[in-house]
Amino acid sequence: MPTLLFTGPGGAGTTTLAAAAAVRAARAGRRSVLVTGQRPPSGAAEQPGVEVVRVDPQADFGAFWAGRAGELTGAVPGLALPPATSVVPLPGTGELALLAALGRVPDGAHADADTDVVVDAGPLTAAAALVALPGVLRWWLDQALPTRVRVLAAVRTAAVRAGTLRRGAADVALGVVPELEALLDRQTLTDPGATAVWLVAPPRPAAAADLRRAVTALAVHGQRPAGVLVRVLPADGAGDWWAARLAEQEATLDTLAGVAPVHAVPETASAPEDAGALAALLPDLPGPSAAPAPPAPERVEGGWRLTLPLPFAERADLALTRWEDELVVTAAGARRSLRLDALLRRCVVTAGSLTGAGTAAARLEVGFAADPGLWPADLLAAHGGDGSGGRRSSEDAGGDTGEDGGRTR
């Protein structure tokens, strides 16, 4: 199932254009599922072949709490928990509710290869958080339940089922883990080959800076924009005000073209009232394209180099650290922990630099050298290793390489 994710600054028309994409898919003979946390235009639900999934984070959290609270009170005598109507949702509940709704789509009656999933992901920061959420949840699962703990948990679960151990609060919590893992296994938000991200923007100068930062944040998690949809004014207006707005619009369109391919969407005098008006807003948008190959270490003199594309990244908000077998990258307010492959796990980080800072071609280059404590001496000599390097625990990667010489922190 191809997924189209729409996001943009508040007021840019993200919900309307997401609904328009769902309607166009249905009119092209495909079924479409529109997943949104907002009230979409009424024309979307009126179009045959469109299923609207309205996400209500507070209600969804209440339903989840009601089920788990009952299990907890049964497992812990005397425990008094508030009812669902009195529980205050945690921060991030909105993104989690959207992710859960997406995870339920494959179970729907109409979900198959001929189904388009359209996600109204809301503002740019919320969309970046949604794309990041699967990786974040996996990371926390690995921290809270490493392999040895999962083995013990499986033994405990078996004992509870056999009746040799009384069910407790820990068992209720452990019971959520398989559900969460199944949800994460179904997500495709970080795969450009399965999910196309469409940015929506007004033709205003501030939009370009917001979109560039969003592109960097998405790149941290392996995503990239398919294009920018810009609501443009018609060119037949009159007067000085109109001329000034058109001049600003043209300049902004040129700037946005440097972020991603621009698709102009005509601005209308009123909101679309029916499915036909929605369909008229958009052309047929391309779906997900072939995903690029994942970053792989490249052999260089003295070791290896790992290159991570980070379009428009700036040195001031870029940081790189090494923690055990993970490389942690922070940029544009987004953070991702990348698990190193078997080769790089036996290496130390020797350098980190940002080349092409602030441009579409910006990339983070991380240098590695063989760790003499983990490589046999003859193999180390064969690879030209000199045994130099840093610590293997948490360490900052620094170094001045490339013409920009950007030092990570």
DSSP assignment of 166-234 equals ---HHHHHHHHHHHHHHHHHH--TT-TTTEEEEEEE-SSHHHHHHHHHHHHHHHHTT--EEEEEEEE--
d(CA 308, CA 329): 10
For residues 106 and 231, membership in a common domain is answered with yes
In a domain, 128, yes or no: yes
In a domain, 360, yes or no: yes
For residues 222 and 359, membership in a common domain is answered with no
For residues 109 and 27, membership in a common domain is answered with yes
- CATH assignment of the domain containing 64: 3.40.50.300
Average of per-residue pLDDT values in the chain: 85
In a domain, 151, yes or no: yes
Per-residue pLDDT at 62: 86
- CATH assignment of the domain containing 316: 2.60.40.790
The span from the first CA to the last CA of the chain, in angstroms, equals 40
For residues 277 and 303, membership in a common domain is answered with no
Domain C-terminal end among 281, 312, 342: 281
For residues 386 and 242, membership in a common domain is answered with no
For residues 107 and 145, membership in a common domain is answered with yes
d(CA 313, CA 357): 6
Per-residue pLDDT at 381: 63
Asked whether 396 and 321 are in contact (CB, 8 A), the reply is yes
Query: Pairing mode, if any, of strands 225-232 and 31-36?
Result: unpaired
For residues 324 and 256, membership in a common domain is answered with no
Q: Tens digit of pLDDT for each residue in 39-59?
A: 998 889 999 999 999 999 888
Domain that holds residue 316: 298-396
d(CA 329, CA 191): 18
d(CA 351, CA 337): 18
Per-residue pLDDT at 396: 43
Per-residue pLDDT at 404: 39
Domain C-terminal end among 281, 306, 340: 281
For residues 86 and 183, membership in a common domain is answered with yes
For residues 226 and 364, membership in a common domain is answered with no
Asked whether 130 and 95 are in contact (CB, 8 A), the reply is yes
In a domain, 89, yes or no: yes
In a domain, 293, yes or no: no
Tell me the pLDDT of the chain (409 aa) as tens digits: 899 999 998 888 999 999 999 999 999 888 999 999 999 988 899 999 999 999 998 888 888 888 777 777 777 777 778 888 888 888 888 999 999 999 888 655 445 568 899 999 999 999 999 999 999 999 998 888 887 787 777 787 788 788 787 777 777 777 788 888 888 888 889 999 999 999 999 998 889 999 999 999 999 999 999 999 999 988 888 889 989 999 999 999 999 999 999 999 988 878 888 899 999 999 888 888 877 888 899 999 989 999 999 999 999 999 999 999 999 999 999 999 999 999 999 999 999 999 999 999 999 999 999 988 877 766 666 666 554 444 333 344 343 333 333 334 3
In a domain, 291, yes or no: no
In a domain, 404, yes or no: no
DSSP class of residue 378? H
For residues 270 and 369, membership in a common domain is answered with no
Per-residue pLDDT at 387: 45
Per-residue pLDDT at 255: 92
Q: Tens digit of pLDDT for each residue in 217-256?
A: 999 999 999 999 999 988 888 889 989 999 999 999 999 9
Per-residue pLDDT at 393: 37
In a domain, 195, yes or no: yes
Per-residue pLDDT at 316: 92
Per-residue pLDDT at 153: 77
**Positive or negative CA dihedral for 104, 36, 193, 310?**
negative
Burial of 245 (0-12, 13-18, 19+ CB in 10 A): middle
Per-residue pLDDT at 403: 35
Domain C-terminal end among 281, 315, 339: 281
Count of structural domains, the chain: 2
For residues 331 and 254, membership in a common domain is answered with no
Per-residue pLDDT at 80: 79
For residues 355 and 234, membership in a common domain is answered with no
